[in-house]
Chains A and B, each alone.
Chain A
């Protein structure tokens, strides 16, 4: 028998038994979220710079990537990336490896395997396309004069991007970028469809066991709301702290 979870609330509403599933589902969602967000951040900056400053070929490559990722459904991308290996007859569920870690109640959970990794990758690549456009928008909003000024004191293009354009445009992008930061955790739910044990799939499991659909999905939604509010608050704080005085 499991030890009693410390939350009276879940006990009270009669799903206390499934508390650990929800917790590990939520952790999986956060894992997917953070991985996709930071992969998207890094790749998004690279894409934005190459689309904004690149030569004809580089610009086309990044534009093509961005438009394809934004122009096709995330679900289709996730299905493609998880099914494609089957079409290439690679599996034995992706050549069989997985990382299993006991959760806080000692129940063993799969925290990482090829499927989860592919899913996180798809989320990250998709997010990168959207993030790139936020950064590109901020890059184009910088005054051309500062570029001239940087050149006039002998800065190279690289120095100008690194020391003048990026510090300003990254700051400027935060309000728009926060869109992506709050949308992405909700968006990770799509991973449920290819069988990644994230938050929505845990909730669905609980519904299947208890038939408490309205209650469980409502709680799920509220938890997402709290999470998103927290992220918003955090980003506002960061924005206020690093904003350029007087601008």
Chain B
């Protein structure tokens, strides 16, 4: 079976700063890949490279076998099949929650207004935001905005959703509601690539974790592998730091 995503030897530099130095991995259908690592390790850049928001200098990305770098490929079309959830939500400020979600299906997928609204309502229901569909982003809490952001992605019915630190901009008490939605999605078999430091989430649903540092993949493995016998010094060190930060309980939870 063709992998949903194939990331092949990605290199990216900003001027002289090498951010990504030869990253490769595959994402199979239904997999939840968690990418973690210190800030500046290139995680966010990597996610942006995957849907070409930041084109790489070298390397290639395939979506279900089709290259995103093919000059003949319609990039906008391919992007509709890759969802993206941003750290800062990035909702469209002038649109109500429901319109934030329905604008993609309507404008990009070419649905009629009614079809797009139906799709948007279903997506909002999934993230438990149906009661807020007529609120504007600025009238919603961070957690609610992020859930609308997730709904905006799933309404496009993508093959894979990329999450770029979806809970990092949230108050601690709002993180739970977003993680719950993500857990639900993962359990439904949604293919996901998640950049996060939420190790509880990683442990619960990730099929593989990728530890990045300074633009390279340092270590890959299952959650068990990382939490029981991480090999590299850097990964061990980083996980210890996370423990100090979030408390032992976070990594002990199942």
Query: Which residues of A are at the interface with B, using a C-beta cutoff of 8 A?
Result: 143, 145-146, 148-156, 159, 163-164, 167-168, 171, 244-247
Contacts and interface: CB of A to CB of B under 8 A. Distances in A.
Contacts of A146: 90-93
Contacts, number: 80
Interface string B122-149: 0000000000000011110000000001
Interface string B77-88: 111101110101
Given A153-B152, A154-B108, A155-B76, A246 B53 contact: no
Contacts of A152: 51, 53, 79, 82-84, 86, 153
Nearest to B149: A149
Contact of B108 (A145, A153, A167, A168): A153
B53 A164 contact: no
A interface, over-half SS: helix
30 contacts: A143-B88, A145-B86, A146-B90, A146-B91, A148-B53, A149-B90, A149-B92, A149-B149, A149-B152, A150-B92, A151-B79, A152-B51, A152-B82, A152-B84, A152-B86, A152-B153, A153-B79, A153-B80, A154-B76, A155-B107, A156-B76, A159-B107, A163-B107, A168-B93, A171-B94, A244-B138, A245-B138, A246-B137, A246-B139, A247-B138
Interface of B: 48, 51, 53, 76-80, 82-84, 86, 88-94, 103-104, 107-108, 136-139, 149, 152-153, 156
Contacts of A151: 53, 79
B84 A149 contact: yes
A29 B103 CA distance: 43
A84 B142 CA distance: 60
Given A152-B84, A154-B108, A245-B138, A167 B94 contact: yes
Contacts of B149: 149
A161 to B, nearest CB: 12
